[in-house]
Amino acid sequence: MVTTVIGIGLLGGSYALSLRDKYPKMHFIGVDASDVHGRLAVAKGIVDEVLPMGIAIPNSDLVVLAVPVNYIVELLPRVLDLISDTATVVDLGSTKQLICEVADAHPKRHRFVAAHPMAGTENSGPSAAFRELLPEKNVILCDCEKSDADSVALVEALFKDIGMKIHYMTPAEHDLHLAYVSHLSHVTSFALGYTVLEKERDEQNIFDMASTGFSSTVRLAKSSPAMWAPIFDQNRENLSRALGDYIEFLQQYKTFIDDRDIKASVDFMQRANEIRRILSGIDRK
């Protein structure tokens, strides 16, 4: 079986590394806009060779789209044009609605499976890829009823074989939930990093006074703007609502501080504490 991974970064690279462990005979072709990343991916054993898209895709059984979501939208129709009739295309993008709409407009839509593995780090590029990223994590598949049964079966089998747990929902549900559980936390973290940098001009102070608590909260502020700007843009309606909700709660909490309303402040934090119960175990996911 020949698998082509388009975009050999953190996610595409980690997926390939996990698959290689399970399927030593699978042949991996990498496609990447960056020659440096391509060479690094071969050197790191992520893929066997790097080829231009037009050569790689017609000879592949599986094509994995692991580029930023704006490029997925751009490349998906071209990839579907190029595949053989029996090949399967899967994307790993963090948004699903626009990507599925683009797929729906293509005559080979039935060979496409829309997927989103719930995993990542604040790092990017092939050097950030590691085989432990995906196992034990969740992956969401959308609109499977629009895909051929054999394509879904292949994609499901591969995710399961590398130890992922599969969930199913519509693209609209996916994007709404992700706005709250993922995209919002990225924005709050970017804004925290931005505020501290703008207002706390003495960098030595930041370094000396930052505890691991600050470091944890601001970790996602290190994430790649090239990856996240198009995600936020594609999911702008849900994200804008989530951000509006968040700002409203923050303003509410600020009045508790200003009014010295300790009881309201404690109640607010106690409600937030309930996240502990829900998340227990997430760090081990």
Smallest separation (angstroms) from a copy of itself to the CB of 169 = 9
Instruction: Give the residue with the Cβ less far from a copy of itself, 25 or 199.
Output: 199
Instruction: Give the residue with the Cβ less far from a copy of itself, 74 or 81.
Output: 74
For residue 62, list its beta bridge partners. Answer: 3, 88
Contact 59, 66 (CB under 8 A): no
How far are the Cα atoms of 64, 118, 203 from residue 174, in angstroms, in the given order? Answer: 20, 11, 39
Eight-state DSSP code of residue 134 = S
Instruction: Give the residue with the Cβ less far from a copy of itself, 59 or 185.
Output: 185
Smallest separation (angstroms) from a copy of itself to the CB of 126 = 19
Query: What does the DSSP assignment read for 149-212?
Result: HHHHHHHHHHHHHTTPEEEEE-HHHHHHHHIIIIIHHHHHHHHHHHHHHHH---HHHHHHH--H
Smallest separation (angstroms) from a copy of itself to the CB of 243 = 5
Instruction: Give the residue with the Cβ less far from a copy of itself, 89 or 176.
Output: 176
Smallest separation (angstroms) from a copy of itself to the CB of 119 = 6
Instruction: Give the residue with the Cβ less far from a copy of itself, 86 or 205.
Output: 205
Smallest separation (angstroms) from a copy of itself to the CB of 131 = 16
- Continuous segment of H or E residues that includes residue 10: helix 10-22
Of 246, 189, 196, the C-alpha closest to 218 is 189
Instruction: Give the residue with the Cβ less far from a copy of itself, 25 or 271.
Output: 271
Contact 171, 114 (CB under 8 A): yes
Tell me the Cα Rg of the chain. 21
Which residue type does 237 have?
E
Smallest separation (angstroms) from a copy of itself to the CB of 176 = 9
Smallest separation (angstroms) from a copy of itself to the CB of 12 = 17
Which residue type does 78 have?
R
Instruction: Give the residue with the Cβ less far from a copy of itself, 145 or 283.
Output: 283
- Continuous segment of H or E residues that includes residue 28: strand 27-31
